[in-house]
Amino acid sequence: MDPLRPNDTIGVLGGGQLGRMLSLAAAALGLKTHIYCPDEDSPAAQVSSQFTKAAYTDASALAAFAQSVGVVTYEFENVPVEAVAILQKAGATVRPGALALEKAQDRLIEKQFVRSLGVATADFHAVDKLEDLGEGLKKVGRPAILKTRRLGYDGKGQTRLTDKDIDLHASYEKAVAFAWDEVGAAPSILEAFVPFKKEISIIGARGVNGAVRLYEPIENVHADGILKTSTIPARIETQTRRSAEEATVAILEALDYVGVIGVEFFVLPGGGVIVNEMAPRVHNSGHLTADACAVSQFEQHIRAVAGWPLGDPARHSSAVMENLVGDEIEQWSGIIREQNACLHLYGKGEARAGRKMGHVTRLTPQAS
């Protein structure tokens, strides 16, 4: 397809804060967005040109959506692959394509895919039934983390198994059964615990013409399974950066990817890296690019899916992004008084525990 032109429309599957920030970035480039999601209370719909409230499996609504836009993208990786198939049958171009969703939606398939590229991950074992969990623990050892293969995020759908846990439950069998129940007895994956030094992410982009642009590594800190802060530049060695960048490029190329991707890494004590997971979309850790870089990850994604040239990912400032979770949103009135603090609120009505309500990026401009 030809590149989009100003005033053309990009369809976005999903209506959360990522879709909101994509819509704002598109508007700055003279492009419109049409948000499609099943939720009435959509932060993205507040700032989009059009909004369709319908299920992701509603074939007629998806077909009408496809006809109203020039290209379709998505803001989260749990969009059913079936929806992409329906859109493509209706004539829509979807970027990134279905392959990225297929690999990222299932943690077992994702790890197998990453390993097939020669990129390291934690040791893992498929857990399809209770007996598999006991076998997996013998293989990967303890401590280990049991995760649902699908849907879990921000610390949900997972539990840890340690020697202490087994002691507390009086027997190995009881501890294994408890962990299985904790994740809902769903098809799961057992991952070896990685004694990492720190966590980093790479925000990468690939255009329609195969051009790749990478933002420099971002250092991340989590609290209760939710990203708390992201810092750029990351405090890592040159070889660590190079290894993470090479892995990201390998993933982009193997998926024939178009758009922005976030790849999370564990940095090992010796400086090596292993992939934790990938997100085929703009990424929470990349929010700071909206204020620290001339071209944000959101603009970069819009450029890519629209078929436009990618922008320069270089930063003009050092930055620390902090998520505002739950009632931390009440800090907004103090934050807006801070010098060099950039506040972003998501327009969500109810501040629930664990719900991302906004973020603040605090800048330190580089000396000219």
Domains 9-94 and 198-365 agree in fold: no
Query: Residue 170: its pLDDT value, please?
Result: 43
Specify the DSSP class assigned to residue 151: S
Q: State the DSSP H helix or E strand holding residue 333, giving kind and residue range, or none if neither.
A: helix 332-335
Q: Which residues pair with 190 in a beta bridge?
A: 125, 146
Among 93, 89, 44, 29, residue whose Cα is nearest residue 282: 44
Phi, psi of 363 (to 5 degrees): -100, 145
HEC string for 75-112: CCCCCCHHHHHHHHHCCCCECCCHHHHHHHCCHHHHHH
Query: Residue 168: its pLDDT value, please?
Result: 41
Token pair recorded at residue 61:
């609504």
Which amino acid would we find at residue 344? H
Which contacts qualify for 46-53: CB closer than 8 Å, 24 or more apart? 46/20, 46/347, 47/20, 47/23, 47/347, 48/12, 48/19, 48/23, 49/9, 50/9, 51/15
Query: Residue 169: its pLDDT value, please?
Result: 43
Query: Residue 363: its pLDDT value, please?
Result: 98
Q: State the DSSP H helix or E strand holding residue 116, giving kind and residue range, or none if neither.
A: helix 107-116
Query: Residue 207: its pLDDT value, please?
Result: 98
- pLDDT tens digits, 46-64: 999 999 999 999 999 999 9
Among 355, 358, 310, residue whose Cα is nearest residue 331: 358
CA pair distance 137, 96, nearest whole angstrom: 36
CA pair distance 367, 237, nearest whole angstrom: 22
Coil, helix or strand for 14? coil
Query: Residue 159: its pLDDT value, please?
Result: 77
Query: Residue 147: its pLDDT value, please?
Result: 85
CATH, domain 123-192, list 3.40.109.10, 1.10.8.50, 3.30.1490.20, 3.50.50.60: 3.30.1490.20
Query: Residue 178: its pLDDT value, please?
Result: 60
Q: Which residues pair with 180 in a beta bridge?
A: none
The CATH class of the 198-365 domain is alpha beta
Query: Residue 44: its pLDDT value, please?
Result: 98
What Å distances lie between residue 228 and 69, 218, 292, 360, CA to CA? 35, 13, 18, 11
Domain ranges of the chain: 9-94, 123-192, 198-365
Query: Residue 206: its pLDDT value, please?
Result: 98
Q: Which CATH architecture has domain 9-94?
A: 3-Layer(aba) Sandwich (3.40)
Residue pLDDT tens, the chain, 368 long: 899 999 999 999 999 999 999 999 999 999 999 999 999 889 999 999 999 999 999 999 999 999 999 999 999 988 999 999 999 999 999 999 999 999 999 999 999 999 999 999 999 999 887 778 778 888 998 888 888 887 655 555 677 776 555 544 444 555 556 655 655 556 889 999 999 999 999 999 999 999 999 999 999 999 988 999 999 999 999 999 999 999 999 999 999 999 999 999 999 999 999 999 999 999 999 999 999 999 999 999 999 999 999 999 999 999 999 999 999 999 999 999 999 999 999 999 899 999 999 999 999 988 65
- pLDDT tens digits, 15-42: 999 999 999 999 999 999 999 999 988 9
Q: Which residues pair with 227 in a beta bridge?
A: 222
239 φ/ψ sector (left φ>0, alpha ψ -120 to 50, else beta): alpha
Among 84, 19, 82, 67, residue whose Cα is nearest residue 282: 19
Cα Rg, the chain, nearest whole Å? 21
